[in-house]
Structure 1
Amino acid sequence: MKTLLPALAGLLLSPWLMADPLPFEQFMRLHRGMSASELAQLAGKPDYTRPDPAGSGDTELFWLGDIDLPYTTVITLHQGLVSDIHRNKRL
Structure 2
Amino acid sequence: HAVLSLRRAGLERKWRGMQERFDAGEIVEARVIDHNKGGLIVDLGVRGFVPISQIVDFPRRPRDEQPRDAAQEIAEKLQPFVGRT
Question: Shared topology, TM-score over 0.5?
Answer: no
Structure of larger gyration radius: 2
| Larger relative helix fraction | 2
TM norm structure 2: 0.31
